Structure 1
């Protein structure tokens, strides 16, 4: 025997499940984008601190980072922040 209401309910459940997964993926992308953006801005604004945390312990004579290191780190931080903005915007663009 054919029950149209049961088929309709199954379709509604499938669609609802699909949209829940899509919303979860969207929020993961936005949350990850915010974290990456914040990390990129930190790297951009504090390249000297990044040097102290990652490179200073490797050298006995260096007391401060080179100008090249500071500029390269700032560029990397800006690119990282840009990637975070793209991750935040991507779910809305692809919608």
Structure 2
């Protein structure tokens, strides 16, 4: 079970770090008609959160 959770966290974390714009389109763009692109603060905070997701994913895979 931890392997599956670790893989899911890694995939989500990589998406957040590599392409915060796609993450924005999936999670936030439907909330506003005028928001076409994420702000710089959103990009930075998404990348930081993605790093935490990657760390948690690796920890789930290592510490079974």
Fold shared by both chains (TM-score > 0.5): yes
Which has the bigger relative contact order, CA under 8 A and spacing at least 6? Answer: 2
TM range (shorter): 0.7 to 0.9
Q: Which has the higher helix share?
A: 1
Unmatched runs of 5 consecutive residues or more in structure 1? 1-27
In structure 1, what is the equivalent of residue 23 of structure 2? 50
With structure 1 as the length reference, what TM-score do the two structures score? 0.61
With structure 2 as the length reference, what TM-score do the two structures score? 0.85
Query: Which of these two proteins has the greater Rg computed from alpha carbons?
Result: 1
Unmatched runs of 5 consecutive residues or more in structure 2? none
| TM-superposed deviation, 1:71 | 0.4
In structure 2, what is the equivalent of residue 59 of structure 1? 32
Aligned residues: 64
RMSD over equivalenced CA pairs, Å: 1.2
| TM-superposed deviation, 1:30 | 2.2
